[in-house]
Amino acid sequence: MESNISFTLKVWRQAGPKEKGGFKNYEMKDIPTDTSFLEMLDILNEQLIEKGEEPIVFDHDCREGICGMCSLYINGHPHGPATGATTCQLYMRRFHDGETITVEPWRSAAFPVIKDLMVDRNAFDKIQQAGGYVSFNCGGAQDANAVLIPKTAADEAMDSATCIGCGACVAACKNGSAMLFVSAKVSQFALLPQGRAEAARRVKAMVSKMDELGFGNCTNTGACAAECPKNIKLSNIARMNREYLCAKIKD
């Protein structure tokens, strides 16, 4: 049964990358609990525009949990309190009447704030460009049994490939580490024969670019995997470390 809630929205407002930001409170009244979090922000922005005020800037695109753009830090959690879900999959029924909901952008030196809740995640694109691809022609799709790949390896590669590059792992990590993201992109190729030919070059290039861009190192607290909306496994980091060590030894 549909119900409505009223709450205080405490939102980070920042005019630009070099401007000083701060929180601003907005009172939200009678919001249906089946409203998504982004729809609720749309309602607030409509109210702000009607008053002649600046709407809140936030990132979004697919609203289906597959693009990774809805990068909001809500009540101390990347993407909010829902497990295994992005912000666009979060609904107001997760919150309580009279609650104060705090909304912030990702906090990482490698993800500078553009405006309000929008951050520049171009660093992930640069890591991908450094080696997150297969550069030679693999040909057309072959029969499923033509290349023998253990099902466990194929499943792990597919699970790793579900990473959407949203940056929740970086936002959750006390060191601002990108190792869960990078290790997922390394693993999706390292586990398959199509990716083995360039495995050494790939892992060295991607790790080097990650370090160059100012991401922190991993201290195995596991916060990244706990907050990941796609449930990327922490074991990917161990695999990336093995791949990197083997590549450096061969050098």
Going along the chain from its start, the domains and CATH numbers come out as: 4-104 (3.10.20.30), 122-137+144-250 (1.10.1060.10)
Tell whether the model's pLDDT for residue 1 goes beyond 60. no
Token couple for 60: 């979004």
- Cα–Cα distance measured from residue 239 to residue 60, given in angstroms and rounded to the nearest whole number: 32
Q: How confident is the model at residue 114 (pLDDT cuts 50, 70, 90)?
A: very high
User: Model pTM greater than 0.85?
Assistant: yes
pLDDT for res 137: 75
pLDDT of residue 87: 97
* Per-residue pLDDT tens over the stretch 171-189: 999 999 999 999 999 999 9
Round the CA-based radius of gyration of the chain to a whole number and report it.
20
Q: CB of 101 within 8 A of CB of 9? A: yes
Question: Considering the chain, what is the average pLDDT of its residues?
Answer: 94
| Residue scoring higher pLDDT (139 or 89) | 89
Question: What's the pLDDT tens digit per position in 60-109?
Answer: 999 999 999 999 999 999 999 999 999 999 999 999 999 999 999 999 99
